[in-house]
Structure 1
Amino acid sequence: MDHTDSVSPEPASAEPEFTEPELAEPYLREVLGTAGLAVEYVRAEDNTLFRLGEDGAEIPVVDFAGGYGSVLLGHNHPEIVRRATELLAAGTPVHAQFSRHPYANRLAAELNRIIHRELETDEPYFAIFANTGAEAVEAAVKHAELDRVMRLAALQEELAAHTESAREAVAASTAVVTAQTYARLGITAPAPAGDFDVLAAELTRRNAEQFARPPLFLSLEGGFHGKLAASVQLTHNEAYRTPFKSLAAQARFVPRERPDALKEIHAEERRTVWDVTVSDGRVELTEREIPAFCAFLVEPIQGEGGIQVLSAEFAAEIQRFCESVDCPVVIDEIQSGMGRTGTLLASSQIGLRGDYYTLAKTLGGGIAKTSVMLVRQARYRKEFEIVHSSTFAKDSFSCHIALKVLELLEADGGAAYRRAVERGEALRAALTSVREDFPEVVKDVRGKGLMLGMEFHDQSGSSSPILRDAAAGGLFGYVLAGHLLHRHDIRTFPTASALSTLRFEPSLQLSDTQIAQLESGLRDICGIMRDHAGERLTGASAH
């Protein structure tokens, strides 16, 4: 490739000029244009997207963004396209809501078969289907809250029964309320002594306050779980979360790899209610902890947080903590799952077992828009099936496509999983080589399988105004991505909440030639940063 000319940041394209006003997210297009990323792709296959040059000819671009992890099997995989064509030609019913869906049940069963193998369990996981990853997360937290509410309701009934039993014992003079019992609530013993109604009223008031408190979620710092009303409050990035804070329940964000923080948060947030019992002729009070935490959301590999890998040690601490406080674990496998790291569930490699799993992206084979939330039998509430639904979920087309995806992943004894590991190792070797040659520029290379990231050192102190301004303005990673696109025909992006980290999530079709092409491009941008030569990033297309 001959990349010698420096031209405008947003190159001319072969697309026709339109007279209509820009109405489809025009500001985003403007931002993309600033970094040279506002290009149109006209075709896609395998690990390649195609855009048009000024002469109208196709320019192949190696896709390392991979639909943010959606196309592990490649763009327009021929077997998936063939299956989609068959389904549409046969008139498969996309809209047959509120009827029997045997294909959805087959998909749930196949997911269970693979999960049972990876987790070495036979406990069923019930499936609630959705359309997007964020919707699957919303379904998980809704289900977890329904479970928490139902557990609280059962506890309230139990406490009410205990209170009534104590009332009857006092009325029958088989039990008395002592001054010490009143003192535990900070109230003065009434006259006549032993008036149970005073005690019961105070217990009811205090317990009602605790039961009425909103749920609290736990999520890791750097975590990303979507941008919908509830899921965005579980996403650590304040820019996404803060404007909508009043719309949904809040989260406490746990520092990564800090098990001591779990105990601190529990001590600060634990909630208790008062229970009343009769023992040896006296009415006694007992504090009982109630579920304050609705769920703990965890990504085994944080995608938007900078490709941060959860350690097996911290995963074990999370598991123990959640078991001790009866808090369900929601494992967000939307980006890391579906074979990208060598197993269907990346979390299975570190011994983390979820009460809930969310899967999406590659589940649709790069064609169907589908996702699933899985709930283990021990947590499942059948009532959820009535209070939650989705117009497009569980349809014949997406379920059959997802079944084809699982068939391809499992074929030849799981050859796709093994290829994800092998291609990931080859890609990581290239990234590591760049880091070793540019230690002053590249801070870290991390990830697993075909979910890798390269983090650069902060450039806000660069002597180059272009690099310095890009770092200060929050566009640093996008400027690098624009240069890689126009100079090296490489497509990638920074992670959304860690803009100094470039993501690499290609398909299984990734070739050695494409890895070498990426390595060449990375060496170029590393040389630019090392030499503080930001002016070289202002160039765009050499085609």
Structure 2
Amino acid sequence: MTAVQPMTAAHTDRELAEPTLRGWLGTVGLDVEYVRAEGNTIYRLAEDGSEVAVLDLAGGYGSLLLGHNHPTVVARAQELLAAGTPIHAQFSRHPYANDVANRLNRIIRRELGEDEAFATIFANTGAEAIEAAIKHAELERGFRARDLLAGIEANLATTVTSVAPSAYEKAGSVPEEGLAGLLTAIAAHNAAVAARPPVFVTLEGGFHGKLAGSVQLTHNADYRTPFSALAAQARFVPLDQPGAVKDMVDGERASVLDIVVEGGEVRVVEHDFPLIAAFVVEPIQGEGGIRVVSAELAAEIQEAAASVGAPVVVDEIQSGMGRSGAFLASTLIGLRGDYYTLAKSLGGGVAKASVLLVRESRYRPEFELVHSSTFAKDAFSCHIASTVLELLESEDGRAYRKAAELGERLTAVLEGVRADYPDVVVDVRGKGLMLGLEFAAQDTATSEAIRVNAPFLGYAIAGYLLQAHDIRTFPTASAVTTLRFEPSVLLTEEEIGRLDRALRGAAEILRTQPEHGFTA
């Protein structure tokens, strides 16, 4: 047996935790270490070891609607840990999970104005909740497909034994081989259709995760293409092209064959086959550039999904939990889901928690036997989620109103920057406290220092905001010229003013094109 070697400086001095990313962060001034956080403030270490307060407007990529280390959430976490609350109590009763499910159901039924309940599957992250949604949708589609094919097979068997052979001879579609040939042709056609892989319809610009299944629903080809052979087949629809959803669905329609007897004659008929497994939609695209789906597009999706019997999966991982000014951003555009995924702020910035909610009328109980997660549905994260929901719902939903009010104030500031710098600021987008500011591309900038950073412009601007103004934000992953702003409901007028001044500083640099670019 080989002895374990002691750790040495040679082992510990190297950067081994995603070293390439760590090196790249240094090129744009984002390689800082954060050591403490509260509210909208996160503290980084200066070179002399002191703490520097940074205004955090990235908000944990939308996870911190209540801010860093909310005192009520932290107190609850400390209480749970001090009490020795078991984290690993799998395959047992979880009343605390049921409490979260019921709280979510009450809120969602209120938002939708409906009485139908939603069965709840627990997970750890947003991407995992999407994976569960993909799997459940395919399980549901599989049952519908099997029921359809089984019905056809039973009908064929009954018809063959009950109809006189002369009736088949009158059927114009009967091949020369007669009845046997007809049945063989139908069986071959149906088998070929049934073997086709399922299709998921989603939107251009969408981001649903980077796991094996969810990454195929993410539009950014850089993330998706290297793994395209692994998982779900997606069809991407543009956001601004009326009729595109219907065209996409019509192009993906498939049918299986059956026979019917009418007037003593046998006729071949077609049945729609459930090839489309689900429509997956972010009501506000986060990573794709903070783009709000229109009510018109939402209606098209709803109609198309109903026409093929497929569920609508609403991805509220980043936009939900009140960030838009409503608990579900989808209600603001009239989009009603059959499935909902929630995550990020559900854990209050402390726990890792997410859920998939499925309408009872579509829920397949068999899913619970084929899907599970080691850390999902544990007592700690569920109790934290309950605390978060209590905070959001307190004072008649004051947090939602606050998100809407602060969002309007922040939008006005961003619009002011765009109005004063129309040559370098292209657009302001979003809703509530999920906003984006798009800058003009700098591929032809006169400043070489700025032009070199053009492929990752948003990160260079983010580095400037951090180093020069102690403000933390990032661009969106698939739209690097768009900065995102997802602060908490604790945002103050003073903090909004700081951002206004900082953004104007960045815009002035882009306008004047100094030789040093974003670095002094």
TM bin, normalised by shorter chain, reads over 0.9
CA drift at 1:176 = 2.6
CA drift at 1:424 = 1.0
Do the aligned partners of 1:174 and 1:281 also contact (CA within 8 Å) in 2?
A: no
Q: Name the counterpart of 1:3.
A: none
CA drift at 1:19 = 4.6
SS at match of 2:296: helix
| 1:148 matches 2:141 | yes
Q: Distance in 1 between matches of 2:478 and 2:339?
A: 24
Corresponding residue to 2:228 among 245, 250, 254: 245
**TM-score, length of structure 1 as denominator length:** 0.92
| 1:175 matches 2:162 | no
Corresponding residue to 1:415 among 398, 404, 415: 398
Q: 1:269 to 1:444 in 2, by over 3 A?
A: same
Corresponding residue to 2:510 among 525, 529, 533: 529
What do residues 376-427 of structure 1 show as CA deviations (whole Å, max 9, x unaligned)?
1121000001100000000000000000000000001111111111111111
Do the aligned partners of 1:140 and 1:330 also contact (CA within 8 Å) in 2?
A: yes
CA drift at 1:189 = 2.0
Q: Distance in 2 between matches of 1:22 and 1:225?
A: 30
Q: Name the counterpart of 1:91.
A: 84
CA drift at 1:169 = 2.4
CA drift at 1:17 = 12
What do residues 196-245 of structure 1 show as CA deviations (whole Å, max 9, x unaligned)?
22111110011000011000111100000000000000000000000000
Do the aligned partners of 1:35 and 1:475 also contact (CA within 8 Å) in 2?
A: no
Q: Distance in 2 between matches of 1:177 and 1:136?
A: 54
What do residues 505-540 of structure 1 show as CA deviations (whole Å, max 9, x unaligned)?
00111111111111111000100111112514123x
Q: Distance in 2 between matches of 1:535 and 1:222?
A: 33
Corresponding residue to 2:159 among 160, 166, 178: 166
Kindly report structure 1 stretches of 4+ aligned residues shifted beyond 3 Å: 16-19, 172-175
Q: Name the counterpart of 2:107.
A: 114
Do the aligned partners of 1:495 and 1:502 also contact (CA within 8 Å) in 2?
A: yes
CA RMSD of aligned residues (A): 1.4
CA drift at 1:178 = 2.6
| 1:494 matches 2:487 | no
Q: Distance in 2 between matches of 1:521 and 1:261?
A: 40
CA drift at 1:257 = 2.7
Map 1:82-481 to 2 at 5 A. Answer: 82-170=75-163, 172-173=164-165, 175-178=167-170, 180-182=172-174, 188-190=175-177, 195-471=178-454, 474-481=455-462
What do residues 135-178 of structure 1 show as CA deviations (whole Å, max 9, x unaligned)?
000000100000000000000110001111221124x5573343
Name which of structure 1's ranges 455-464 and 142-151 shifts more when overlaid on structure 2: 455-464
CA drift at 1:467 = 1.6
Corresponding residue to 1:23 among 16, 22, 25: 16
Q: Distance in 2 between matches of 1:212 and 1:238?
A: 26
Q: 1:247 to 1:223 in 2, by over 3 A?
A: same
SS at match of 1:166: helix
Q: How many residues align?
A: 512
Do the aligned partners of 2:434 and 2:485 also contact (CA within 8 Å) in 1?
A: yes
The one-letter code matched in structure 1 to 2:294 is S
Identical amino acids, percent of aligned pairs: 60
Q: Distance in 1 between matches of 2:203 and 2:445?
A: 31
| 1:511 matches 2:498 | no
The one-letter code matched in structure 2 to 1:122 is D
The one-letter code matched in structure 2 to 1:189 is E
Q: Distance in 2 between matches of 1:17 and 1:538?
A: 34
Do the aligned partners of 1:210 and 1:272 also contact (CA within 8 Å) in 2?
A: yes
Do the aligned partners of 2:127 and 2:209 also contact (CA within 8 Å) in 1?
A: yes
Q: Distance in 2 between matches of 1:238 and 1:256?
A: 17
Q: Name the counterpart of 2:60.
A: 67
The one-letter code matched in structure 2 to 1:470 is N
CA drift at 1:287 = 1.0
SS at match of 1:264: helix
The one-letter code matched in structure 2 to 1:175 is A
Q: Distance in 1 between matches of 2:134 and 2:12?
A: 45
SS at match of 2:98: helix
Corresponding residue to 1:42 among 35, 39, 49: 35
Q: Name the counterpart of 1:5.
A: none
**TM-score, length of structure 2 as denominator length:** 0.97
What do residues 319-349 of structure 1 show as CA deviations (whole Å, max 9, x unaligned)?
1111112121110000000010111111011
Q: Distance in 2 between matches of 1:141 and 1:18?
A: 42
Corresponding residue to 1:32 among 10, 13, 25: 25
What do residues 265-287 of structure 1 show as CA deviations (whole Å, max 9, x unaligned)?
12221101101111211111101
Q: Name the counterpart of 1:520.
A: 501
Name which of structure 1's ranges 255-264 and 454-463 shifts more when overlaid on structure 2: 255-264
The one-letter code matched in structure 1 to 2:506 is I
Q: Distance in 2 between matches of 1:80 and 1:287?
A: 57
Q: Distance in 2 between matches of 1:243 and 1:178?
A: 53
Do the aligned partners of 1:300 and 1:333 also contact (CA within 8 Å) in 2?
A: yes
Do the aligned partners of 2:410 and 2:496 also contact (CA within 8 Å) in 1?
A: yes
SS at match of 1:538: coil
Q: Distance in 2 between matches of 1:376 and 1:177?
A: 47
The one-letter code matched in structure 2 to 1:123 is E
What do residues 328-379 of structure 1 show as CA deviations (whole Å, max 9, x unaligned)?
1110000000010111111011110001000000000000001000001121
Q: Distance in 2 between matches of 1:335 and 1:179?
A: 56
Do the aligned partners of 1:166 and 1:283 also contact (CA within 8 Å) in 2?
A: no
Do the aligned partners of 1:272 and 1:288 also contact (CA within 8 Å) in 2?
A: yes
Q: 1:409 to 1:284 in 2, by over 3 A?
A: same
